[in-house]
Amino acid sequence: MYILVLNAGSSSQKSCLYRLETELPQQPPEPLWSAHIDWIAADFGSLMVKSNGVQQQIELANRNQALEIMLKTLVQGSTKVLDNLEQIDVVGHRVVHGGAEYSQPTIITSEVKNAIADLIPLAPNHNPAHLEGINAIAKILPEVNQIAVFDTAFHRQIPKPAKVYPLPYEWFQRGIQRYGFHGISHQYCATKTAQILDKSLDSLKIVTCHLGNGCSLAAIANGICIDTTMGFSPLEGLMMGTRCGSIDPQILLYLMREYGLNGDELNQLLNKESGLLGVSGISADMRAILAASAEGEEQAQLAFDIYIHRLRSSIGAMIASLGGLDALVFTAGVGENAAKVRAKTCEQFAFLGLHLDIDKNNACPMNEDIAISDSQVRVLVIHTEEDWEIATQCWQYIAVQG
């Protein structure tokens, strides 16, 4: 079975092709083909394709034709891996927001597309890009099944005390609730944690830390997410690259009343100008923050200190939700690569009997337990494989549905 995965963002598009047989492999295989589109401007971008040991770059000048150009590299030239596009059995799409309705991978119908469109106000940077990819595939491969795998689905079982905001209850009934995001990554990392530790997932209490430009935590008990830091939108929770995370809502009212900021200006401030970038005045990239801090830049150091303070505090909240902790997991760009972030975060949890192996932590670990042998809490660094998780869920859906 050939499964094409499309992972669309507001300014990029990641894609890959897997070939799966009758059984899923224990370890994620290398995709037969992968592609990455970076949109430098609204209608100008760059496509990078890798397959057959070949890497090819193509300039794109028309967004409407980008996906068609990308798919042609599957069947033409040095990156060819298929005889024709009709060999593709299913296309799996990462969809950031599925609302309260969708808790499982779902065949995309007109009803599902309408639901994704209705949720654009809650995910304005992502859901439009998902629809763009879905509609393009429907035009190019009208007979192929398309499956939506929702980032919010893993968080659907969060209990009401964690899900419902303390507003008048009617607002919950109208859809204002904690949805949670990065669910595909959190789910993959939880499963991988059980595999690495050689334990049953339903026996573990896990906190997964997805730390990239966007950041979120998930408290996972018996394989089920019972709490998470992102909420109604991906803005809530941890301090992030350009997002502020949780702040006093009265600040927004104050900015509106005293400084005349409108909705668009507040959105720009909170989502694009805050976080590491806003505090440091230097960069949203943790690597740049660490470098500037090492050179004595006080605001960069302050940005790092706030980041760690909020990360520790939120991990503490997740541990309280779980009533204990078996494993703390770091993943995504910062989580996988910033040894100092892991070390400073873990320092504060020594009272739980959590102790890092400093040499392992500093040795670029990947899919590895980096706690000392007698640590009472295991600490893992896991390379998140969202695309493989999407492919796996598509394969399982097809296997069950026949």
CATH for 302: 3.30.420.40
Q: Residue 180: inside a domain, yes or no?
A: no
- In a shared domain, residues 221 and 93: no
Q: Which pair of tokens denotes residue 307?
A: 């980041």
Burial category of 321 from C-beta neighbours within 10 Å (exposed 0-12, middle 13-18, buried 19 and up): buried
Backbone φ and ψ of 388, nearest 5°:
-65, -40
For the chain, give the number of residues. Answer: 402
Alpha helix segments (H runs only) across 198-338: 250-259, 263-272, 275-280, 286-294, 298-322, 332-337
Our count of domains for the chain comes to: 2
Name the active-site residue from 38, 43, 118, 151. Answer: 151
Burial category of 317 from C-beta neighbours within 10 Å (exposed 0-12, middle 13-18, buried 19 and up): middle
Q: Which pair of tokens denotes residue 145?
A: 């099944």
pLDDT in tens, 79-108: 999 999 999 999 999 998 888 888 889 999
- In a shared domain, residues 142 and 211: no
pLDDT in tens, 315-325: 999 999 999 99
Parent domain of 17: 2-150
- In a shared domain, residues 239 and 354: yes
- The answer on pLDDT for 129 being more than 90 is no
Q: Residue 246: inside a domain, yes or no?
A: yes
151 is catalytic: yes
Q: Residue 327: inside a domain, yes or no?
A: yes
pLDDT in tens, 275-327: 999 999 999 999 999 999 999 999 999 999 999 999 999 999 999 999 999 99
Q: Residue 348: inside a domain, yes or no?
A: yes
Instruction: Report pLDDT for 400.
Output: 73
What is the rounded distance in angstroms from the CA atom of residue 230 to the CA atom of residue 211? 12
Record the pTM. 0.92
Instruction: Report pLDDT for 42.
Output: 62
Q: Residue 377: inside a domain, yes or no?
A: yes
- In a shared domain, residues 214 and 140: no
